[in-house]
A = this chain, B = another copy of it.
Amino acid sequence: MFEAAELGRRLSTKAYRARAPKVRAALLAAQQRLRTAAPFPVIVVFAGVDGAGKSETVNLLNAWMDPRWIVTRAFGEPSGEERERPEAWRFWRELPPRGRVALFLSAWYSRPVLDRAYRRLSRVEFEHQLSLLARFERTLADDGAVILKFWMHLGRRAQRKQLERLESDPLTRWRVTARNWQHWKMYDRFIDAAEQTIRATSTAHAPWMIVEGRNEEYRTLTVAQTLLDAMTQRLEARPPRRSRSPGAVTTPRTSGAAAGRTVLSALDMSARLDKRTFERELLRQQGELNRLQRRAVRAGVSTVLVFEGADAAGKGGAIRRVTAALDARECQVIPIAGPTDEERAHHYLWRFWRHLPRAGRITIFDRSWYGRVLVERVEGLTPAAEWRRAYAEINALEDQLIAHGMVLVKYWIHVTKDEQLRRFKTRAASPVKRWKITAEDWRNRGNWDAYEQAVNEMVERTSTHEAPWTLIPGNDKYYARVEVLRAACERLRKALKSRP
């Protein structure tokens, strides 16, 4: 695979001097257009052989372009906070907003390739990790990111020569470490891992480019020209037309809902608790949750609780019964309202990654990533192609939480249309609750059937064995609150039991 990158390709100084200024000026112009139009982020990943000029190229691109709009990051050992979350967290943290170019060194391929070269991963395990990375890139590309990956290459002999050359000069000796030589001795293993990587993860939307690293001029211009072409091509492509019509209306899906029977209609909405039983059970479940959570802190088990439900379903009240049982230091409630502009400039999942809990902590999302396939779908805020894709993206996100050992409980608190109307009226009549009800709530109510269909499909597509939905009949608040606590306890107990 790498033969073509060991041909000793070079560019004469004269040819370089003739072309470089033009490429540079064009790159600057492209960066400017990207920044002002801000329609997408550009993510450039550098990997490859030590001494093949990765850092030098990154440094040079910073010199050529306007560094204020470039995000340069190199990922070293993960911090404690990073280790406490799924591995992708640290990369999500640093993803560039739309309109910026990110240059990443030692990014997501670094750890798996190293682990494979040192044989800490079998071939099959490595293959699996690569497929997860391909999925990650797919998620970013689907959101519009331009992704380029450069493998900077040197042949075995060329690498040795390069290391020797640096070592022989007292002024550059510091650039070569014992680790560089150790890896050179493992050259074949690294190349083998690289070949497998490139084969498995070079896709149309996130291609690998192998660049011969011996000649600085050749290497620089190749990377710069490739980056320029990719940016120009996307800037000149016509923006995809975004349908603003509600997906639920234009493209009804066949599902249980069509038969008039949904996961929601199957709920027993008459479930009730009297006040006395409620008060006793509430304290009992709160006590149990508190005990379990203390064990979870010691075991480092984190929990994510997701609350979804129609307006006035009682999410807020249920959440407060949960937080009342917990040490406030171990628990954060994240209410999902409109995104900030930093959030809007990123992939829609970015704002949720931000708030994932540390080891032993709990994050409660009051509304969540499911907004994508609920309100955004029904209100037509997001084109059908995008919310349809979201099921897979959401499952991928939740897979990562679970693979990391987190407990994930997803609640849909359900009320009937009549009960919602009763609550709306009560709210409207109360001076301290009136604010809770807006014109939007009434409009949402008008879309009741579309929401019900969306909920049904959401549950069908995202209720997995590891991350099932907990559907709570919510017409009786007492019953719903106790059920929410009970379900959290049950899931946490199970997770703690399966720990050593």
A interface vs B, CB < 8 Å? Answer: 21, 24-25, 28, 32, 55-56, 58-59, 62-64, 66-70, 72-76, 79-81, 84, 105-106, 169, 171-175, 280, 283-284, 286-287, 290-291, 316-317, 320, 323-324, 327-333, 335-337, 340-342, 358, 366, 431-432, 435-436
Among B171, B333, B340, point to the contact of A72 (Cβ < 8 A). Answer: B333
Measured in the bound complex, the distance between the Cα atoms of B290 and A335 in whole Å is 45
- Chain B residues within 8 Å of A172, by CB: 283, 287
- Chain B residues within 8 Å of A80, by CB: 79-81
Among B55, B291, B320, B335, point to the contact of A324 (Cβ < 8 A). Answer: B55
Among B69, B74, B81, point to the contact of A329 (Cβ < 8 A). Answer: B74
**Interchain residue pairs with CB less than 8 A apart (13):** A25-B432, A66-B435, A68-B335, A69-B337, A72-B328, A74-B331, A75-B329, A76-B330, A79-B81, A171-B284, A171-B287, A175-B290, A341-B342
Number of this chain's copies in the assembly equals 2
CB distance from A354 to the nearest CB of B (A): 11
Of all chain B residues, the one with the shortest Cβ separation from A326 is B55
Measured in the bound complex, the distance between the Cα atoms of B77 and A81 in whole Å is 13
- Chain B residues within 8 Å of A327, by CB: 74, 76
Measured in the bound complex, the distance between the Cα atoms of B335 and A25 in whole Å is 21
* Cβ B106 vs Cβ A329 within 8 A: yes
- Chain B residues within 8 Å of A58, by CB: 328
CB distance from A335 to the nearest CB of B (A): 4
- Chain B residues within 8 Å of A171, by CB: 280, 283-284, 287
Measured in the bound complex, the distance between the Cα atoms of B69 and A412 in whole Å is 23
Among B67, B320, B333, B436, point to the contact of A316 (Cβ < 8 A). Answer: B67
* Cβ A105 vs Cβ B291 within 8 A: no
* Cβ B328 vs Cβ A105 within 8 A: yes
Among B32, B56, B67, B431, point to the contact of A335 (Cβ < 8 A). Answer: B67
- Chain B residues within 8 Å of A336, by CB: 68
Among B21, B74, B320, B340, point to the contact of A62 (Cβ < 8 A). Answer: B320
Of all chain B residues, the one with the shortest Cβ separation from A328 is B74
Measured in the bound complex, the distance between the Cα atoms of B320 and A366 in whole Å is 45
* Cβ B431 vs Cβ A337 within 8 A: no
* Cβ A290 vs Cβ B174 within 8 A: yes
* Cβ A174 vs Cβ B287 within 8 A: yes
Of all chain B residues, the one with the shortest Cβ separation from A297 is B76
- Chain B residues within 8 Å of A56, by CB: 324
Measured in the bound complex, the distance between the Cα atoms of B24 and A89 in whole Å is 39
Question: Given A76-B330, A80-B81, are A337 and B435 also a contact pair (CB < 8 Å)?
Answer: no
Measured in the bound complex, the distance between the Cα atoms of B62 and A331 in whole Å is 14
Measured in the bound complex, the distance between the Cα atoms of B24 and A68 in whole Å is 47
Measured in the bound complex, the distance between the Cα atoms of B171 and A287 in whole Å is 7
Measured in the bound complex, the distance between the Cα atoms of B462 and A381 in whole Å is 51
Measured in the bound complex, the distance between the Cα atoms of B333 and A174 in whole Å is 22
* Cβ A64 vs Cβ B106 within 8 A: no
* Cβ B291 vs Cβ A174 within 8 A: yes
Among B28, B105, B320, B358, point to the contact of A432 (Cβ < 8 A). Answer: B28
- Chain B residues within 8 Å of A342, by CB: 340-342
CB distance from A58 to the nearest CB of B (A): 7
Measured in the bound complex, the distance between the Cα atoms of B82 and A84 in whole Å is 14
Measured in the bound complex, the distance between the Cα atoms of B21 and A30 in whole Å is 58
* Cβ A79 vs Cβ B358 within 8 A: yes
